[in-house]
Structures are given as C-alpha cells and as structure tokens.
Amino acid sequence: MHVVILGAAKHPLRQPFAGGLESLTWALVRGLRARGIEVTLFAGAGSDPALDAREITVDPLVLSEDARGDVSMPPETWLAEHHAYLQVMLELQRRGDVDVIHNNSLHYLPVALAQSCPAPMLTTLHTPPTPWLEPAIALMDQSRSRFVAVSEHTARQWGHVTRAAVVHNGVDTARWTPGPGGEELVWMGRVVPEKAPHEAVRIAAASGRRIRLAGPVGDVAYFRDRLEPLLGDHAQYVGHLEVAALRDLVGRSAALVVTPDWDEPYGLVAAESMACGTPVVGYRRGGLPEFVPADCGTLVEPGDVAAAAAAVDEVCAMDRARARAHAVAHCSLDAMVDAYVAAYGDLLLAPEVAA
C-alpha cells in the first residue's frame, strides 16, 4: 500500500513539536513505515530529515504588480499556504501510484479538491468545525472520501456535515515511559489562552503544591500579561522541551494538570502523561472524559479551581502502574496505527471507491 499523508504546513514536523498535531503526524508516519507501508509525506518546511518529507511550500510566491495592486488581496502568508496546497493537489491529480491520500492537515483545499484525484481520501478531523473546512465538507461529493474524528465528542460536532468514524489519538509508549513520580505538579502544552495554563497555576497554589509548566509560547501577549505575573518559587516555566526532556519532567511529577478553556478535541497531553504513569487532574471538557478513567485521574467541571485543587492529593496517590497500563492498552500509537490501516483498507473496499 502506498499512502500519501498531507501534514499541516504552518509548522515543521520536528522536535520540539509545535503542538499535538505535529507530534501525532510525526509518530503516524513512523508507525506506518514500521509496518512496511510506503508513505509519501508532505509537510511544513524544516521537518525532521528522517521523515524524508516533501515541503508544502511555494517559494517565492510569484505575483504580478497588477495582482499585488488588487485592493482585495488577502495577506501574502495566506496566499502562500493556499497555493502551496494547490500545488500539492495538482500533483496528486496526476499520480496513479497512490492508493490512499490521508489528509492530516487543517486546510480546506485538500478536501475541496479530493474528488479530482485518482486515489480516495481519508481526512482526520482534529478540530471543531471551522468556517473554511465546514462548507468544503458540506458541499463536496463524499462518495470517494471518508472522515475520522479524534474523539466521539469531535465526531458529534461534525455530525451535521458528515458521519465520521472515531480513531483516538495515540502516543508512542516506547518513548513515553514510566517515571518515578514526585511531589510537584506539571502542566504541558501550547501557552495560549485556550489552554489556560494560568488556571493550572491557580489550582496548584490552592492545593499547596509547586508546579512546573512546559511548552511553546504561542501567544506572547498572553504569556506576558496573564501567566508570567503568576510565576515564582511556586510556579516555574521551564521552556519548550523535546520529547525526552518532557517525558522525564512528566515522569518525575505527581500529577498532570489539564485546564482547557475550550472543548479539547482529544487532549493528547493526558495520554502522554498516563503513559509515564502520571495521573491527571483537570477539567471535564471535549474528548478528555473518553479516555481518562476514574482510577487514572479526576476531571471536574470546567473552571472549578477549588474542586480541582481539592482532588489533587487523591489523584497524586493513584496507582501509577495502573495509569501506565491504561495508556498502553487504550492510548497507544500501535492501536492508533492499526485503526488507520484498517480505515485505509475499508476505504479501498468501499463500493463507491471500487467503482
């Protein structure tokens, strides 16, 4: 089987990862190739050389002076990304050696042009409906396309435009390995308002424990105005870490604090934490309740700092081996790759595709 994977163009697929989408795509490519599946990857510039990715890029973006003079011209970065995906899809229209296109990007153009390609397309829905992607799916002919969502929650959000199967995200449990635990709490993720790390600091302070925070600063103003003033001896930002350092940090922590200020489509950090044996305390939002069981963590009503803080000691005392076992059984990369391979096969056997 030859699978083309379309990654996101905004960030490279390399450590330290910009976010869960990037780490997930990186792991999926490696997992498929480990099973002997031929993978051609299109990804953002600067991706891990070991992935042998084709860059999704148009450099330079050639525009005439007349085109640049159009008063309705959108930002050039938007145009560059649009035409980069257009370039990829025009190439795939001419490719007869591809069995399945797996669209793992967040861009609408692969979906809009899916029916023009000889190979059928599987699209993973990583986010709630967006104003670009939702109409593209609603208007397209879905007879040769299939959709999967990263959680039941996300599948329901897209239910008005497509019926999506569910493939939960997976973590490489050979890389995210058990740690000894500790006394301090940990938070990890993109430092942006919708991830609300400032709430994690409040929970830690109310519980009487120190917390360390790690991840890329995606919103400098938010970091400066909302998070940085809360830092000190009791709360430390340790930077944007590669997987090995992040795994060690999580493995040496008593519990992970997860504080989304939106409905997380999945919540990959919780799966990574449990793989390290570290239980989870946080907010019951989005896909998190689907894979964080009561014996591996406690999820409270969103925004309830007091309830989360009150649960910290009990969560920190949970059986770390049980959290690890749950992650291996239900949140592993192997399980995710197996599910995608099965989805590819189902897509190729679908009557509409075979016809």
Query: What's the pLDDT tens digit per position in 8-24?
Result: 998 999 999 998 899 99
Q: What are phi and psi of 220, to 5 degrees?
A: -65, -40
> Tell me: the pLDDT tens digits for 168-184?
999 999 999 999 999 99
Of the chain, the percentage scoring pLDDT greater than 90 comes to 90
Q: What is the average pLDDT value for the chain, to the nearest integer?
A: 95
Q: 324-340, pLDDT tens digit by residue?
A: 999 999 999 999 999 99
Instruction: Let me know if the fold of 2-170+333-354 is the same as that of 185-330.
Output: yes
For residue 63, what pLDDT band results from cuts at 50, 70 and 90? Answer: confident
- Taking the CA atoms of 150, 264, 155 and 153 in sequence, report the sign of the dihedral they define: positive
Give me 299's structure tokens: 């999820």
Ordered alpha helix ranges (H), 213-254: 220-222, 243-251
- Say how far residue 217 (Cα) sits from the centre of its chain: 16
Cβ atoms within 10 Å, residue 346: 13
pLDDT of residue 71: 86
- What pLDDT, on the 0 to 100 scale, is given for residue 59? 72
Partnered with residue 171 across adjacent β-strands are 332
The domain made up of 2-170+333-354 is a member of CATH 3.40.50.150: no
Note the pLDDT of residue 57: 86
pLDDT band at 77 (very low <50, low <70, confident <90, very high): confident
The architecture (CATH level 2) of 185-330 comes to 3-Layer(aba) Sandwich (3.40)
Tell which residue, 48, 62, 111, has the closest CA to residue 243.
48
| DSSP code of residue 97 | S
pLDDT digits (tens, 9 = 90+) for 141-175: 999 999 999 999 999 999 999 999 999 999 999 99
Decide if pLDDT at 75 tops 80: yes
Q: What are the sequence ranges of the domains in the chain?
A: 2-170+333-354, 185-330
Q: How far is CA 211 from CA 201, 243, 283, 307, 312, in A?
A: 7, 19, 17, 17, 12
**The pTM is what?**
0.91
What pLDDT was estimated at residue 355? 53
Q: Are 58 and 202 a contacting pair, CB within 8 Å? A: no
